């Protein structure tokens, strides 16, 4: 486990920007670095080292780290400092169960508040994902997150968008570090048009089913802790598994039949 990952960001601290702007800039750079995998789960985020890297004082670094902690990307271990969050499988599925509720609401609001400009931006992002051939897992995760952030913003409720961003950002960071194959990255990126169709009111699929079905492209049981699952009710129909998981399932079934 790395004690401190190295990034060499530079900020023009001499330009006279107000502290809130500086804090926001540092916050965005640190969040992006975590999502991009430059800081990995378990890496220590040392205030003094970050202040030297950014060529600023420790105060905006500390404030940014506290905000990242509130967003779930960073954890504060007493007497040890701040570390990039490590999620357990249960953590991931509990977050997904809440995401189903919030993102379904975002889809419902999109149907009411979507503007032609919003639709154009989302359509362009879907087309970029469908045309995606190869690239790093981090680049794929950033494109994926860009689509979802735009979808949340298009709901017209900034508080809902903020809640989803705080809740789900850590999931995208976590997912970006699993070293999936290029085929699996392509497969996941190519399964976003169905969400857009629901947001535009062009699909008969319910928002809840659409979100659960979409999450199943990346997780085996994303609604494991949802109330309908606990009660034994089936909500969304099964979704085709990504190539790697489908191969594992086939192998598992084969072993059972032997």
Per-residue model confidence as pLDDT tens digits over 139-161 = 788 888 899 999 999 999 999 99
In angstroms, the first-to-last Cα distance of the chain is: 40
For the chain, the residue count is 258
Q: Which domains does the chain have, with CATH numbers?
A: 13-84 (1.10.10.10), 89-257 (1.20.120.530)
The 10s digit of each residue's pLDDT in 17-65 is 334 688 888 988 888 888 777 888 889 999 999 999 989 999 999 999 9
Q: Quick check: 41 and 174 in contact, CB under 8 A?
A: yes
Q: Quick check: 147 and 129 in contact, CB under 8 A?
A: yes
Query: Whose CA is closest to 183, among 133, 146, 252?
Result: 133
Would you state the pLDDT for residue 162?
A: 93
Burial 197-206 (b: 16+ CB within 10 A, else e): ebbbeebebe
The 10s digit of each residue's pLDDT in 87-124 is 888 888 999 999 999 999 999 999 999 999 999 999 99
Radius of gyration of the chain measured on its C-alpha atoms: 20
Would you state the pLDDT for residue 45?
A: 94
Residue 174 has pLDDT above 50, yes or no: yes
């Amino acid at each position: 486990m790395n004690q401190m990952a190295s990034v060499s960001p530079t900020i023009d601290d001499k330009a006279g920007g107000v502290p809130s702007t500086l804090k926001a800039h540092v916050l965005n750079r640190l969040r992006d670095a975590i999502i991009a995998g430059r800081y990995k789960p378990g890496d220590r985020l040392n205030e003094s080292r970050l202040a030297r890297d950014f060529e600023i004082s420790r105060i905006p670094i500390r404030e940014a780290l506290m905000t990242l902690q509130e967003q779930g990307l960073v954890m504060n271990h007493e007497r040890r400092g701040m570390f990039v969050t490590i999620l357990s499988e249960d953590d991931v599925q509990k977050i997904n169960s809440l995401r189903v509720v919030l993102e379904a609401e975002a889809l419902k609001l999109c149907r009411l508040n979507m503007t032609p400009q919003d639709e154009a931006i989302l359509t362009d992002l879907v087309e970029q994902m469908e045309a995606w051939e190869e690239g790093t897992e981090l680049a794929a995760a950033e494109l994926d997150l860009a689509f979802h952030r735009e979808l949340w913003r298009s709901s017209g409720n900034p508080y809902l968008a903020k809640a989803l961003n705080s809740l789900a950002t850590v999931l995208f960071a976590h997912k970006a570090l699993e070293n999936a194959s290029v085929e699996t990255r392509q497969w996941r990126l190519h399964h976003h048009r169905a969400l857009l169709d629901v947001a535009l009111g062009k699909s008969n699929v319910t928002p809840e089913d659409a979100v659960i079905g979409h999450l199943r492209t990346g997780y085996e049981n994303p609604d494991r802790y949802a109330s309908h699952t606990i009660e034994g009710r089936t909500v969304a129909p099964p979704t085709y598994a990504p190539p790697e998981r489908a191969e594992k399932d086939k192998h598992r079934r084969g072993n059972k039949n032997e």
